């Protein structure tokens, strides 16, 4: 019995030695779990406290975002549907300064791809990394975008935007104007029609990946509204004709600039408006371009109209009932003295009738007619014609000109205003005044957009007076007048020349002139009115009849044919009264 018990004890001891030690295992497992728990806590503390910036940056890369849906600006077309301004999709390059490496090799490659100076690129990047978005170059061409994309640089991204493009380039630049980097109108009709042309960007919720690429559209928050299409009254064909001939004339006569305007006498619609010097709205606007070429001289530049003012003095005379076209006016001996000034003609024309004063462009005759009126009566008539008053065409920067109050007129002021001094106008203002003569005495309301229905103008003279003036203006383009070079074969043409000295530093320069011509056609039923001003022609020719009138003839000849205006016959042959000549 005792032996069996001892044997059993030995067996139990051997068994216990062979079985695993569960207490040690349990302690080991508990220790391991404790270490894992401590590691997790330490990692959590590290990320939540010590690596907050890293987590925020990573979180910003991978979550829902609300992004804008860009829209294009409305298309601008001419009256025949030809596009003048369109918005095309392009790409813009931006960077996240926190991700972009600043080493020399990276920045040199990026600057080369974007065609920028290295210093310019560095100037765009902040020294510290507190910003997450910086534009490097906006609205770039496809080749530049591909070059930037091919670098595959961390922190450099491309987004789609829209860029304004002007197919007509310089030809319509001054009328259309341009937009800024945000595609908002800054000049010209782009600015005037901003509310119609500018669209409204949409918004949508998306999911972006770590490279800011949209991987999923979640929902549309706001639908985009594209800009509305706008049709202008401009005729690109006439615009090109006027641009080409004006540029050639400025170059030929070595002038410092010029402007030309064509309006429809029936509707008041502006059909063409060009200036020199011009600029390319699709290119980079240099300092020189900003200094001299951006403004629309046809509406912003004031000048004294010279002899183109004489028809309105005669109109006042005819309207008064004290004069008729055949009323005699003595101009001998070719000069006329008023206190403070001697007014002269280039020839002694002797006895002229009122029509002859216009045909020969007699300063003496026009001054005598003007001085025969009470100054208030004459001033009120010129005021009624719109001189010195805003036209309210809606074009930005429009000037209203200047007509001194009659209370400040001395006899010399009343005399010289008869041949266009002491009063200032714009080319568009002068063209509109002549349109009243073409439209039987109704001063039109100007418009840069087509009109479906006629807008009543302002009556400023009787139809009889307007018709009598048109006969006089037609004689100016005859062999006896000062504007023979304004003639257009097959059409009856009327108009008036002007040659004015420029005022500078308080004095009139001896050799600085403005050459002007304002005309209309066809005289049987006037439809088009055109005003031309060449600024400081420096060649041997400087008279309006020799410098500006030929431009009118070339442009008007093309315009009448393009608009299918039927010929109304050759110029009538006038009966000679005095020797040819005059101040053209």
Phi, psi of 362 (to 5 degrees): -80, 115
DSSP H helical ranges for 46-172:
52-61, 104-113, 118-124, 142-150
Question: How far is it, in rounded angstroms, from Cα 325 to Cα 562?
Answer: 35
Query: Domain for residue 442, yes or no?
Result: yes
Residue 387: closest CA among 432, 352, 346: 432
Of the chain, the end-to-end C-alpha distance in Å amounts to 157
Question: How far is it, in rounded angstroms, from Cα 533 to Cα 584?
Answer: 13
**Residue 288 token pair:** 């020189």
Host domain of residue 389: 236-279+298-562
DSSP H helical ranges for 166-206:
173-176, 188-192, 194-197
pTM above the 0.75 mark? yes
**Residue 266 token pair:** 């029936």
Residue with tokens 């806590």, as numbered in its chain? 41
Question: How far is it, in rounded angstroms, from Cα 144 to Cα 140?
Answer: 6
Name, in order, each residue with C-beta under 8 angstroms of 251's C-beta and a sequence gap of 6 or more: none
If asked whether residues 179 and 258 sit together in one domain, one would say no
Q: Which CATH number characterizes residue 477's domain?
A: 3.40.710.10
If asked whether residues 221 and 245 sit together in one domain, one would say no
CA dihedral 383, 385, 390, 395 (to 10 degrees): -170
Question: How far is it, in rounded angstroms, from Cα 550 to Cα 483?
Answer: 9
* pLDDT of amino acid 569: 74
If asked whether residues 161 and 268 sit together in one domain, one would say no
Flag whether pLDDT at 24 surpasses 80. Answer: no
* pLDDT of amino acid 287: 57
Query: Domain for residue 478, yes or no?
Result: yes
Of 231, 263, 287, the last residue of a domain is 231
**Residue 384 token pair:** 């009624």
Percent of the chain with pLDDT over 90: 55
Query: Domain for residue 59, yes or no?
Result: no
If asked whether residues 166 and 256 sit together in one domain, one would say no
If asked whether residues 511 and 404 sit together in one domain, one would say yes
If asked whether residues 173 and 242 sit together in one domain, one would say no
**Residue 480 token pair:** 């006896």
Domain count, the chain: 2
Which listed residue (92, 307, 367, 393) is catalytic?
307
Percent of the chain with pLDDT over 70: 84
Q: What is the mean pLDDT of residues 234-238?
A: 97
Work out the number of other CB atoms within 10 angstroms of the CB of residue 451.
14
Question: How far is it, in rounded angstroms, from Cα 550 to Cα 533?
Answer: 12
DSSP H helical ranges for 232-390:
236-252, 287-292, 297-300, 310-320, 354-360, 363-371, 375-384
Question: How far is it, in rounded angstroms, from Cα 76 to Cα 70?
Answer: 19
Flag whether pLDDT at 26 surpasses 90. Answer: no
pLDDT band at 228 (very low <50, low <70, confident <90, very high): very high
**How many CA atoms lie less than 13 Å away from 226 in the CB half-sphere?**
10
CA dihedral 385, 390, 394, 398 (to 10 degrees): 110
Flag whether pLDDT at 16 surpasses 70. Answer: no
If asked whether residues 222 and 359 sit together in one domain, one would say no
CA dihedral 304, 310, 311, 314 (to 10 degrees): 140
* pLDDT of amino acid 580: 33
Q: Which CATH number characterizes residue 149's domain?
A: 3.90.1310.10
Query: Domain for residue 13, yes or no?
Result: no
If asked whether residues 312 and 425 sit together in one domain, one would say yes
How far from the centroid of its chain's Cα atoms is residue 175's Cα?
4
Query: Domain for residue 200, yes or no?
Result: yes
If asked whether residues 254 and 188 sit together in one domain, one would say no
Work out the number of other CB atoms within 10 angstroms of the CB of residue 214.
13
Question: How far is it, in rounded angstroms, from Cα 329 to Cα 347?
Answer: 15
Query: Domain for residue 456, yes or no?
Result: yes
If asked whether residues 149 and 253 sit together in one domain, one would say no
* pLDDT of amino acid 576: 39
C-alpha angle with apex 124: 121 to 125, nearest 5 degrees? 95
**Interior/surface letters 274-305, b for 16+ CB within 10 angstroms, e for the rest:** bbbbbbebeeeeeeebeeebbbbbbbbbbbbb
Q: Residues, the chain, total?
A: 584
Across-strand partners of 336?
A: 343
If asked whether residues 204 and 243 sit together in one domain, one would say no
Work out the number of other CB atoms within 10 angstroms of the CB of residue 329.
21
Q: Is the dihedral of CA 555, 560, 564, 569 positive or negative?
A: negative
Work out the number of other CB atoms within 10 angstroms of the CB of residue 95.
22
Residue with tokens 């349990």, as numbered in its chain? 26
Query: Domain for residue 582, yes or no?
Result: no
Across-strand partners of 447?
A: 269
Query: Domain for residue 480, yes or no?
Result: yes
Across-strand partners of 90?
A: 161
Q: What is the mean pLDDT of residues 300-312?
A: 95
Give the CA distances from residue 98 to residues 47, 127, 289, 494, 519, in Å, rounded to whole numbers and listed in that order.
19, 10, 38, 71, 66
Phi, psi of 88 (to 5 degrees): -115, 145
If asked whether residues 490 and 389 sit together in one domain, one would say yes
Least confident of 196-210, 275-289, 365-379, 519-533: 196-210
Residue 166: closest CA among 46, 232, 84: 84
Q: What is the mean pLDDT of residues 74-82?
A: 95
Catalytic residue check, 92: no
Report the range out of 197-206, 355-364, 570-579 with the highest average pLDDT.
Answer: 355-364
Higher pLDDT, 359 or 294: 359
Question: How far is it, in rounded angstroms, from Cα 514 to Cα 304?
Answer: 9
């Amino acid at each position: 019995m005792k032996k069996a018990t001892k044997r059993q004890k030995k067996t139990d001891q051997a068994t216990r030695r062979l079985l695993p030690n569960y207490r040690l295992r349990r302690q080991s497992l508990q220790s391991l779990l404790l270490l894992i728990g401590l590691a997790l806590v330490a990692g959590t503390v590290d990320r939540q406290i010590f690596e907050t910036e890293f987590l925020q940056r990573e979180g910003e890369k991978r979550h829902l975002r609300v992004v804008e849906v860009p829209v294009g600006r409305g298309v601008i077309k001419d009256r025949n549907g030809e596009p003048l301004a369109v918005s095309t999709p392009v790409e813009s390059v931006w960077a996240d300064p926190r991700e972009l490496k600043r080493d020399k090799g990276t920045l040199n490659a990026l600057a080369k791809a974007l065609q920028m100076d290295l210093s310019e690129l560095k100037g765009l990047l902040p020294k510290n990394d507190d910003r997450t978005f910086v534009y490097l170059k906006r609205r770039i061409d496809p080749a530049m975008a591909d070059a930037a994309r091919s670098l595959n640089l961390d922190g450099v991204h491309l987004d789609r935007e829209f860029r304004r493009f002007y197919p007509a380039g310089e030809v319509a630049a001054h009328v259309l104007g341009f937009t800024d980097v945000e595609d908002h109108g800054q000049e010209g009709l782009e600015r005037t029609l901003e509310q119609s042309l500018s669209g409204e960007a949409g918004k949508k919720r998306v999911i972006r990946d770590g490279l800011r690429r949209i991987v999923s559209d979640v929902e549309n928050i706001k639908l985009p509204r594209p800009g509305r299409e706008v049709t202008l009254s401009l005729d690109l064909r006439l615009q090109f004709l006027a641009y080409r001939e004006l540029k050639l004339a400025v170059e030929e006569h070595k002038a410092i600039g010029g402007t030309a305007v064509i309006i429809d006498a029936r509707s008041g619609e502006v059909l063409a408006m060009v200036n020199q010097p011009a600029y390319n709205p699709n290119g980079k606007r240099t300092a020189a371009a900003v200094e001299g070429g951006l403004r629309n001289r046809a509406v912003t530049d004031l000048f004294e109209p010279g002899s183109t003012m004489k028809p309105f003095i005669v109109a006042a005379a005819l309207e008064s009932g004290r004069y008729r076209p055949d009323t005699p006016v003595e101009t001998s001996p070719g000069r006329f003295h008023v206190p403070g000034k001697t007014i002269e003609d280039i020839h002694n024309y002797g006895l002229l009738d009122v029509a002859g004063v216009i045909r020969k462009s007699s300063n003496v005759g026009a001054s005598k007619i003007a001085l025969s009126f009470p100054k208030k009566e004459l001033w009120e008539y010129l005021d009624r014609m719109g001189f010195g008053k805003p036209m309210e065409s809606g074009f930005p920067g429009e000037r209203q000109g200047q007509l001194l109050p009659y209370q400040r007129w001395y006899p010399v002021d009343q005399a010289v205003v008869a041949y266009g001094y002491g009063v200032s106008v714009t080319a568009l203002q002068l063209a509109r005044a002549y349109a009243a003569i073409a439209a039987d005495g109704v001063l039109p309301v100007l418009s840069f957009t087509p009109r479906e229905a006629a807008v009543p103008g302002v009556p400023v003279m009787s139809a009889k007076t307007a018709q009598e003036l048109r006969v006089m203006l037609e004689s100016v383009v005859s062999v006896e007048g000062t504007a023979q070079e304004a003639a257009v074969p097959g059409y009856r043409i009327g108009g008036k020349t002007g040659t004015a000295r420029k005022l500078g530093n308080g004095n009139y320069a001896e050799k600085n002139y403005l050459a002007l011509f304002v005309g209309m056609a066809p005289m049987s039923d006037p439809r088009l009115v055109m005003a031309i001003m060449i600024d400081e022609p420096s060649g041997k020719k400087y008279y309006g009849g020799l410098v500006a009138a030929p431009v009118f003839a070339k442009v008007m000849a093309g315009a009448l044919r393009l608009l299918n205006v039927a010929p109304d016959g050759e110029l009538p042959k006038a009966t000679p009264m005095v020797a040819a000549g005059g101040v053209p």
